[in-house]
Amino acid sequence: MPIEEDILAQLIERSIPDAKVRIEDLRGDGDHYAAYVSSPAFEGLSRIQQHQMVYQALQGKMGGELHALSLHTSVPEKT
């Protein structure tokens, strides 16, 4: 069963509370998403470590309910 966009965003936001999350359904099938996650918690971390934080937030749904995820992480610009 596919995962809904809002559930996907909630999982990430609960695990990384200061994150700004935008989810995009790439095919309209609820199975292929792009996730754009920006968080100060990513500062000083490698891209791999940032992605690991997001995958950990998904609580094992990757490869099951979620077939494909294009992940884009960033640290917010300081103003």
pLDDT in tens, 26-79: 988 778 899 999 999 999 999 999 999 999 999 887 777 777 899 999 999 877
Q: Evaluate whether residue 29 is within a structural domain.
A: yes
Beta strand residue intervals within 1-79, DSSP E: 20-25, 32-38, 68-74
Q: What is the pLDDT of residue 50?
A: 97
* Domain region containing 51: 5-74
Q: What is the pLDDT of residue 47?
A: 96
Q: Of 10, 12, 74, 11, which Cα lies nearest the Cα of 38?
A: 74
Cβ atoms of residues 34 and 26 within 8 Å: yes
Q: Evaluate whether residue 79 is within a structural domain.
A: no
Domain count, the chain: 1
CATH code assigned at 30: 3.30.300.90
Q: Evaluate whether residue 59 is within a structural domain.
A: yes
Q: Evaluate whether residue 43 is within a structural domain.
A: yes
